[in-house]
Amino acid sequence: MVAIPKQTERRSWRLPNLGVLRSLLGSILPKGLYARALIIIIAPIVLLQSVVAFVFMERHWETVTRRLSDATTRDIAMLLGVYESYPHDDGYKKLINLAQTKLNLSLQILPPQDLPPTRPKPFFDLLDRTLSREIRKQIGKPFWIDTVGRSHLVEIRIQLKDAVMRVLARRSQTYASNSHIFLLWMVGTSLVLMTVAILFLRNQIKPILRLAQAADRFGKGQSAPPDFRPRGAREVRQAALSFMEMRNRIERQIEQRTTMLAGVSHDLRTILTRLKLQLAMFEDSQEAKEMMADVDEMQAMLEDYMAFARGDSSEESSPVNVRRLLQDIRKQTARGNKEITLDLPDTEVVVPLRRHAFKRAVTNVVSNAMRFADHVTASVVQNSNWLTLRIDDDGPGIPEEEREEVFRPFYRLDDARGQDTGINTGLGLSIARDIVRSHGGDITLKKSEMGGLQATIRVPV
C-alpha cells in the first residue's frame, strides 16, 4: 500500500517534464513545410554520411597511425640497441647526430632519474594508445610519453639502468592527422546536398504556396491570380483541382442564392410599396400612422434578413480610404446630440476592402454602441499586416459570458428586449462578424476603459 502512492507521485512528476520537453522542441523546430522537409531530407543523409565517413576515416587513421608508431618505435629500439652495444667515448655525439640526420629524431641521454608522473589520457587517445602498445611490444622497458604537451612534438622517455633516453619526434612521424580532410569532406558534401534539396524543394513548395494564396484570396472575396493553375506533384495537382471545383460550386451556389434573393426581395418590396401607397390614401389618423410604422419596421427587418442571407460576398475588393469611410459612418449614425468621436492617424489609411460590406459591418457595430451609450469613440491603427479598428463606448456593456453569444443570429440580450430603442432584429453583430471574417479577420469584444464595451475589428492588409 505504500508503493502505490509513490508510483503515482513518480508518474505525476514525469508527465510535466515530458510536456515541457515537447513544448521546447515545438518552439525550436521550424513551423514551415519548406524548412521541415529540408530537415527530413538532409538530416538523415548527413547523419548517415557522418557515421560512414567517421568509421572509414577512423579505421584509416588507426591503420596509418599504427604503422607510423611502429616505424618510430623501431627507430628508437635501434638507437637503444646502438646505445647498449657500442661504447660512446665521444659523449653520445655520434648517436645523437645519427638520430638527427638519419632518423629525424631529437635524442638526449639524461642522468638517471625517475620518470615523470603519468598524465591524464587525452580524450582522443589514438596516438597515446597505439604508441604505448608498440613501445611495450618492441622495447619492453619502463617508459613515459607525452602526446599533448607540445602540439607538434611527441616526447618519449625510456628508463635505462644508468640513464634516461629522451626522444623528441614530430607528431607527423607518429600520427596521421586527417581531421581537416574529414571536415572538408563533410562540409563539401553537405553543401552539395543542401543545394540540391533546396532547388528541388523550392519547385515542390511553390505550387503549395500558390494554392494557399489562391484559397486565401478566395476566402477574402478576391479573385484568384490570373495565372493560377494546377502545378507540381500529383497530390498537389489533385488538391488544386479539388479547390477549383469547390470554388466553382460555391460561386454557382452564391450566384443562385443571389438570384433567388433578388427575386424574393423584389417581390416583397413590391408588396410593401403597394401597402405604403394604400396607407397613403387613408386619412391622416393614428391607426394609419401605426400601420405605416409597422410597414417601415417590416421593410427594415426585410433589409436585415436579406443582408444576412446575402452576405455581400459578390462585391469585389478595392482600395478604400478608411478615414473617409469612418467620416461617412459618423454622419450616417449621428442621432441628435450623439455623435461618434474619431481618433484617426495623421496619414491616409488606404487598404483593399469590399467597401460597402465593410462599411455595413462597422456601421452595425457603431449603431449598436450608440443605441445604448452616450459617448462612442473609434480609433484606427495600421501596421504592415493588420488594420485594427477599436470602437469604445460608455454604455452598460455586455456580460463576459454573453460576449460570444451576441454574435449568434437572432440573439438579443434581455436588456435590449425591454428597451424601446428602435428595431432590433438580433442580426447586426452577426452580419458584422460574417463580413469581417469574409475579409480574413474577426471581431472581438471586451470591457472598455470608458466603462462600457470595446469592439475590436481586425482585418489583414
Q: Which tens digits make up the pLDDT trace of 188-201?
A: 877 887 788 788 87
Render pLDDT for 10-41 as a digit per residue (tens, 0 to 9). Answer: 444 444 566 676 677 667 767 777 777 777 77
Q: How many whole angstroms separate alpha carbon 250 and alpha carbon 244?
A: 10
For 243, residues 6+ apart whose C-beta sits below 8 A from its C-beta are 211, 214, 215
Render pLDDT for 61-103 as a digit per residue (tens, 0 to 9). Answer: 778 888 888 888 898 888 888 888 877 777 788 888 888 888 8
Q: How many whole angstroms separate alpha carbon 287 and alpha carbon 381?
A: 50
Closest listed residue to residue 221, CA positions, set 429, 380, 436: 436
Q: How many whole angstroms separate alpha carbon 297 and alpha carbon 340?
A: 25
* Helix ranges (DSSP H) in 373-448: 414-417, 428-438
246 touches 235 (CB < 8 A) = no
Q: How many whole angstroms separate alpha carbon 153 and alpha carbon 419?
A: 98
Cα-based torsion angle of the residue sequence 419, 312, 269, 292 in order, rounded to the nearest 10 degrees: 20
Please report the pLDDT score of residue 2 as a whole number: 38
Q: How many whole angstroms separate alpha carbon 317 and alpha carbon 220?
A: 8
Show the cell assigned to 443: 471581431
How many Cβ atoms are within 10 Å of 15's Cβ, its own excluded? 9
Q: Are strands 453-460 and 442-447 parallel, antiparallel or unpaired?
A: antiparallel
Q: How many whole angstroms separate alpha carbon 271 and alpha carbon 177?
A: 98
Strand order in the sheet with 386-393: 340-343, 376-382, 386-393, 453-460, 442-447
Render pLDDT for 105-156 as a digit per residue (tens, 0 to 9). Answer: 888 888 888 888 877 766 557 777 888 888 888 888 898 888 776 667 888 8
Q: What is the DSSP string of 61-121?
A: HHHHHHHHHHHHHHHHHHHHHHHHHS--TTSSHHHHHHHHHTS--EEEEEPS-PPPPPPPP
One-letter identity of residue 399:
P
Q: Which segment of 235-244, 337-346, 366-375, 380-389 scores lowest on mean pLDDT?
A: 337-346
Q: Is the pLDDT higher at 288 or at 415?
A: 288
Q: Are strands 453-460 and 386-393 parallel, antiparallel or unpaired?
A: antiparallel
What separation in angstroms does the CA of 326 have from each of 347, 380, 436?
Answer: 14, 10, 16
Collapsing DSSP to helix, strand or coil, 22 comes out as helix
Which residue has cell 462612442?
Answer: 376
Please report the pLDDT score of residue 235 as a whole number: 83
Average pLDDT of the segment spanning 325-336: 82
Please report the pLDDT score of residue 374 as a whole number: 86
378 touches 346 (CB < 8 A) = no
Q: How many whole angstroms separate alpha carbon 113 and alpha carbon 101?
A: 27
Show the cell assigned to 122: 587525452
Render pLDDT for 417-435 as a digit per residue (tens, 0 to 9). Answer: 334 444 556 677 888 888 8
Q: Is the pLDDT higher at 237 or at 306?
A: 237
Average pLDDT of the segment spanning 219-244: 80
On the question of pLDDT at 262 being above 70, the answer is yes
Q: How many whole angstroms separate alpha carbon 445 and alpha carbon 456?
A: 6
Average pLDDT of the segment spanning 254-266: 74
Please report the pLDDT score of residue 18 as a whole number: 64
360 touches 435 (CB < 8 A) = yes
On the question of pLDDT at 394 being above 50, the answer is yes
Greatest Cα pair distance, the chain, in angstroms, is: 151
Closest listed residue to residue 406, CA positions, set 423, 389, 428, 388: 428
Q: Is the pLDDT higher at 75 or at 224?
A: 75
For 309, residues 6+ apart whose C-beta sits below 8 A from its C-beta are 257, 261
391 touches 414 (CB < 8 A) = no
Please report the pLDDT score of residue 122 as a whole number: 64
One-letter identity of residue 144:
W
Please report the pLDDT score of residue 392 as a whole number: 92
Q: How many whole angstroms separate alpha carbon 147 and alpha carbon 126?
A: 10
Going by pLDDT thresholds of 50, 70 and 90, the confidence category of residue 445 is very high
Q: How many whole angstroms separate alpha carbon 112 and alpha carbon 158?
A: 11
On the question of pLDDT at 7 being above 50, the answer is no
Q: How many whole angstroms separate alpha carbon 38 and alpha carbon 45?
A: 11
Please report the pLDDT score of residue 59 as a whole number: 76
